[in-house]
Structures are given as structure tokens and as C-alpha cells.
Amino acid sequence: MARTRKVRFIEPQTRPGRPFNAWITRWPLLGPVTLGTILHERGYDVAIYNENISGSLLENPDACRDVVVRGEGESVIEALARGEAPRGIIQAPPLEDLDTLPTLRHGLIRDFDRLLARSRRQDLYELPVMTSCGCPHGCTYCSVTRMFGRRVRRQSVDKVCRARPDG
């Protein structure tokens, strides 16, 4: 019987004094949740460690593989999980059809219940969603066009409306 591969994503703790700290400690980044959901739905044992929720992993380090993905990781994440991608920097192509992305499973985040417990109404806790990638503008202060390009790709309205976070 084949062993299920364990994949762990780490969202590092924010640095003190950063402008987005109040936001980032309430809303996990979409990247780890998206990639973790893709692998979870393909049968991998996935957990997401968000140091802003669970605290630093320095006290409990896991074995890490040093890989940097430039671009959008959705198209290369399974090859990475299978150990087929080289170490170092990988250039990933953009995902053309955003409707192929699964509904996000925020519950893969370790201690996600702790994040929800901070809210007065857990059933109304707001979670970020991704409905599009890219931006037609090229603002010098923003990294969106460098990351996703100037061509805007969108999820269909039906796909966005069907999404039900699992919490």
C-alpha cells in the first residue's frame, strides 16, 4: 500500500511594525490555502502552518525542501509534492482557467479554530476569496502586475457564487 505524502505549507510570522499586520493576522494568505486545497483534493496529507495564528515554528521545526516558485504555483504544486521538481527556483506558468481551482479549505490551517474564536460571530467570519488574477494598471508601488501580469483573468460568476468556505 502506497504511503500518503505529507505536505506542509508555512506562512511565516509577520515582522513587527509592518503596515498589513492587523490584516494579515486576521486573514490568512490565499496562496498556501489554495495550493494546500489542490493537494488535499488529490489525496495528499496537507497542513498549513500560519505562524500568525499558531506561533513560531522555530520551536517545532519540520524538514523543509528549499524551492522557490516564481509565478503561480497551481500548475507545478503536484510535481513539487511528488518530489519531481528540482530544488532552487522554478518558473511556473500562469493558470489560464481560474474555474479549475477548487473551493478553498481554510480548515487545513492548523489552529484555524483559534482564528475563528477571536470573532464574535464565527458563522459570519469574513474570509478572503480570489475572483481574479492580474491588473491592467502598472502602479510602481504594487507587485500584482509583476506577479500576475497585466492581463486580467477571472473566475466565472457561477463558480464564485458556488464557493462555500468550509471553515
Return the higher-pLDDT residue of 23 and 6. 6
Question: Where would I find the beta strands (DSSP E) of 3-82?
Answer: 6-11, 45-50, 67-71
Return the higher-pLDDT residue of 7 and 58. 7
137 has a pLDDT exceeding 90: yes
Does a structural domain hold residue 48? yes
153 has a pLDDT exceeding 90: yes
In 3D space, the residue among 112, 105, 102 whose CA is nearest the CA of residue 166 turns out to be 105
Query: What letter would DSSP give residue 109?
Result: B
CA–CA gap between residue 154 and residue 104 (Å, rounded): 16
Does a structural domain hold residue 157? no
Does a structural domain hold residue 79? yes
Does a structural domain hold residue 96? yes
In 3D space, the residue among 145, 5, 167 whose CA is nearest the CA of residue 77 turns out to be 5
Does a structural domain hold residue 139? no
Does a structural domain hold residue 165? no
Q: What is the pLDDT of residues 46-93, one digit of tens each?
A: 999 988 888 887 765 566 668 788 888 999 999 989 888 777 888 888
**Phi and psi dihedrals of 31, rounded to 5?**
-55, -60
Does a structural domain hold residue 27? yes
Q: 167: pLDDT confidence band, cut at 50, 70 and 90?
A: very low
Does a structural domain hold residue 84? yes
pTM of the complete model beyond 0.75: yes
- Whole-number pLDDT of residue 88: 83
**Structural domain tally of the chain?**
1
Domain that holds residue 27: 6-126
- Whole-number pLDDT of residue 157: 92
109 has a pLDDT exceeding 80: yes
Task: State the average pLDDT for the chain.
Answer: 84
